[in-house]
A and B are shown apart, each in its own frame.
Chain A
Amino acid sequence: MKLAVCVKEVPETSARTRIDPGTLRLDRSGPAALNPFDAHALEEALRIKERTGDGEVVAIMMAPARGAESLRKALAIGADRAVHVTDEALAGSDLVATARALAKAVEREQPDLVLLGQQGGDSDGAVLWSALADLLRLPVVSQAASLELADGKATVKRQTEYGYDVIEAPLPAVVAVSDAINEPRYPSLKGIMGAKKKPFDTVDAAGLGLAADEVGESGARTEVRSLADPPSRGDSVRIEDDGSAAEKVVEYLAERKLL
Chain B
Amino acid sequence: MKAVVFLEDHEGELVKGSLGVLSKAASLEGDVAAVVAGSGVREIAGQAGRYGAARVYAADDPALAAPLPQPRVDVLAKLLGDQGFDTVLFGASVLSADVAAGLAARLGAGLNWDLVDLQLRDGELVGTRPALQDSVYAEVGWNGEPRLALVRSGTFEPVETGGEAEVEELAVELEDFSTKAVMVERAHAESEGPSIEEADVIVAGGRGLGEPEKFALLEELAKALGGAVAATRAVVDAGWYPYATQVGQTGKTVAPKLYVACGISGAIQHKVGMQGSGTIVAINKDPNAPIFEYADVGVVGDLHQIVPKLTELVKERRG
Contacts and interface: CB of A to CB of B under 8 A. Distances in A.
Interface of A: 13-14, 17-19, 24, 94-96, 99, 119, 123-135, 137-143, 145, 155, 158-170, 173, 178-181, 220-230, 233-234, 236-241, 245-250, 252-254, 256, 258-259
Interface residues of B, number: 98
Contacts of A253: 258, 279, 281
B250 A134 contact: no
Which DSSP category, helix, strand, loop or mixed, fits chain A's interface?
mixed
A163 B113 contact: no
Interface stretch (B27-35, B39-47, B142-150): B142-150
B94 A158 contact: yes
B234 interface: yes
Contact of B105 (A131, A159, A179): A131
A125 B115 CA distance: 12
Contacts of A138: 177, 180
A141 B184 CA distance: 13
A240 to B, nearest CB: 5
Which among A139, A166, A253 has the highest number of chain B CB atoms within 10 Å?
A253
Closest 4 CB pairs of A and B: A241-B301, A221-B110, A180-B237, A163-B187
Contacts of B292: 238
Interface in B114-161: 114, 126, 129-132, 134-144, 150
Contact of A166 (B184, B279, B317): B184
Contacts of B238: 180
Nearest to B68: A167
Contacts of A245: 283, 299, 301, 306, 309
27 contacts: A13-B286, A18-B136, A95-B110, A119-B267, A127-B111, A128-B101, A140-B181, A160-B95, A160-B187, A163-B189, A163-B243, A165-B183, A165-B185, A165-B186, A167-B68, A167-B183, A169-B181, A180-B236, A221-B108, A221-B144, A222-B112, A223-B140, A227-B139, A228-B137, A236-B296, A239-B300, A246-B306
Nearest to B94: A160
A50 to B, nearest CB: 20
Which among A129, A165, A166 has the highest number of chain B CB atoms within 10 Å?
A165
Contacts of B177: 137-139
Contact of A252 (B114, B234, B297, B317): B297
Contacts, number: 264
B132 A166 contact: no
Nearest to A12: B288
Contact of B139 (A132, A139, A225, A250): A225
A180 B234 contact: yes
